Chains A and B, each alone.
Chain A
Amino acid sequence: METDKRVVLDSESEQRIIQLIRQGRQFEAVREVRKATRLGLAEAKRLADEIGDANPPVRDVFGTPGERAEAAAALAAVGEARAAGFVPIPGWFFPAVGLLVAGVMAVQAISPYWLGLPVLVLVVVAYVVVERTYARRVRRAGVAPRELTLRQQVVLAVPLALLWVAGELFDGRGGWVWLVVAGVAAVWTIGYGIVHNRRARASA
């Protein structure tokens, strides 16, 4: 099986790999093998050993100072590029969403319910404005910030859902319950946004 894989290496590649191994550039030699054969890393190291008669074997010296320096340089380049590409979700976004969520909840406090319809319409209009402003900002900047992952969305939404349930449970005590629930929901959303952006900035 190994012989078959070796056959796909042309003599030019083979010579280059031998030369790299003799120069002690094991990391690059393995890279050449993988480029030429599409083998997995472990098999590529074995094949590099076989071709270059490497002493000590490539698989034993993987992690030489040269390789580590190359990998460290690559990681440094990654860090710089990540920092250059990082754009936080705008600071106004989470407060705006918090107010929208609070608005929807506060509507429940209005009785009779049809009196709350204008507020609901206002919330919908505000949502459209927020969405369009966000999209315009992204278009202008040329960079769209990372969206929340599914897990992050769940973490944000579950307390809001629980607040809604609490509002329904204590609805009988008066409209003020929904106002409290709306306030807590707004604070939670804004707080979540602050923490999210802080963590995103720290990991960039």
Chain B
Amino acid sequence: MTDTEQGFDTTIHAPNRLRICALLDAAERIEFGEVQERLGVSASVLSKHVGVLMAAGYVEQAKAVRDTRQRVWLSLTKAGRAAYRQHVAALRAIVGTPDG
């Protein structure tokens, strides 16, 4: 068994959570509504998965006011980014594709 497979993370692997992490990894931070729209999931589903990722210390949220309305911005924590990348490396190891 290769070391990279040790990075397999069950918290991240759930399909929606994996997509959330992938989306957040591509940006510095993304507004909650944008994540919802880009992934095509409902607010309640997104909240649930974000809650799990936050409890694991993988995602953090920041609140900011925009157009007099409070917006929530989501971003991966340093640990979250590392865990996500290790998980993707583990998936690649299983599939047998090189890292990249």
| Chain A contacts to B: CB under 8 angstroms | 27, 31, 34-35, 40-42, 45, 59, 62-63, 67-68, 71-72, 74-75, 77-87, 139, 141-147, 204
13 additional A-B pairs beyond A40-B6, A144-B27, beta carbons within 8 Å, are A31-B10, A59-B1, A62-B5, A68-B96, A71-B91, A74-B13, A79-B22, A84-B26, A143-B29, A144-B28, A144-B73, A146-B26, A146-B28
Which residues of chain A are within 8 angstroms of B30 by Cβ–Cβ distance?
85, 142-144
Query: Are B92 and A143 neighbours in the complex by a CB distance under 8 Å?
Result: no
Interface residues on B, range: 35 or more
The smallest C-beta distance from A163 to any residue of chain B, in angstroms, reads 28
Question: Which 10 pairs, one residue from A and one from B, show the smallest C-beta to C-beta distance?
Answer: A85-B26, A142-B31, A85-B23, A81-B22, A142-B34, A144-B28, A71-B94, A81-B19, A78-B22, A84-B38
Give A95 to B8 CA distance when docked, in angstroms: 41
Whether B43 is near chain A, meaning CB under 8 Å from some CB there, is no
Give A15 to B23 CA distance when docked, in angstroms: 36
Which residues of chain B are within 8 angstroms of A72 by Cβ–Cβ distance?
95
Q: In this complex, what residue of B is CB-closest to A36?
A: B10
Known: A78-B18, A142-B34. A87 touches B92 (CB 8 A): no
Contacting residue for A75 out of B6, B28, B92, CB 8 A: B92
The smallest C-beta distance from B57 to any residue of chain A, in angstroms, reads 14
Dominant secondary structure at the B interface = helix
The smallest C-beta distance from B11 to any residue of chain A, in angstroms, reads 9
Whether B50 is near chain A, meaning CB under 8 Å from some CB there, is no
Which residues of chain B are within 8 angstroms of A34 by Cβ–Cβ distance?
8, 10
Give A68 to B94 CA distance when docked, in angstroms: 6
Whether B25 is near chain A, meaning CB under 8 Å from some CB there, is yes
Which residues of chain B are within 8 angstroms of A204 by Cβ–Cβ distance?
26
Which residues of chain B are within 8 angstroms of A71 by Cβ–Cβ distance?
91-92, 94-95
Which residues of chain A are within 8 angstroms of B73 by Cβ–Cβ distance?
144
Known: A31-B13, A34-B10, A59-B1. A145 touches B27 (CB 8 A): yes
The smallest C-beta distance from B6 to any residue of chain A, in angstroms, reads 5
Query: Are A143 and B31 neighbours in the complex by a CB distance under 8 Å?
Result: yes
Query: Are B34 and A62 neighbours in the complex by a CB distance under 8 Å?
Result: no
